[in-house]
Every structure is written in structure tokens, then in C-alpha cells.
A = this chain, B = another copy of it.
């Protein structure tokens, strides 16, 4: 019953490094994912509505994301979907659509990138 999904989109806010109360490194950023589909009648690609996600990352992935990702870049995010609705003090209802990232990477469909620091041993 887990919902791990892969989302590709544009980073809309620069990620900044935070510390959780227990000392864990964390970060978050907004991700905009526009649907595109091929309209057979018009014979052209059409831009649909945009899904917005709040991406969160922890530990090594948080640190590497902060040093690697800038607003405007196109990324792949693999993560677990978290959908929450909540009631504000004024009793209005809001919603949070989060993606707790397991992996994030610059999408090479649109740019080239270079590894600048490895935290894993060669294999």
C-alpha cells in the first residue's frame, strides 16, 4: 500500500539546508510538473494543468540537494507521496501534497551535469 512515484518537473524554489530538532539535515523545495499530451485532433502537443509538490529530503540527500539544485532546473524525483488536509486556526481547510524523496537527480533530457563530489565508494 505504499505509493512510491517518480515525478519530473521544474524546481520552483531554491532548497535551503535546515536542521531538524534531532539534528538530522533536511531540506524542502517546490516542484512544478506540467502535463503535456499529444492532441490528435489538433495534431500538436498541448500543455495541461500543473501539479505542484512540496519535496522534502533528509540526511545525505538533503545536503547534496542543497549544494546541487537551483531554482529553474529540471529534476527527476523518486519519492513517497504524502497527501494531507489540515484545518487552520480560522477553521478553513488547506492541503499539502508532499513527496518524501528517496532519490533526486538533474534530468539530462534538458541539460548536462557533472558529479562534483562523491559520497559513495567506487563499485
**Which A residues have a C-beta under 8 Å from some C-beta of B?**
1-10, 33-38, 40, 43, 49, 51-53, 60-61, 63-65, 67-70, 72-76, 78, 80-85, 92-95, 97, 102-120, 122-123
Contacts of A52 in B (CB 8 A): 83, 85
CB distance from A66 to the nearest CB of B (A): 9
| Chain B residue nearest to A44 in the complex (CB) | B40
Copy tally for this chain in the complex stands at 4
Q: Is the CB of A38 within 8 A of B35?
A: no
Given A103-B109, A116-B113, decide whether A5 and B8 contact each other with a Cβ distance below 8 A: no
Q: Is the CB of B122 within 8 A of A72?
A: yes
Q: Is the CB of B2 within 8 A of A5?
A: no
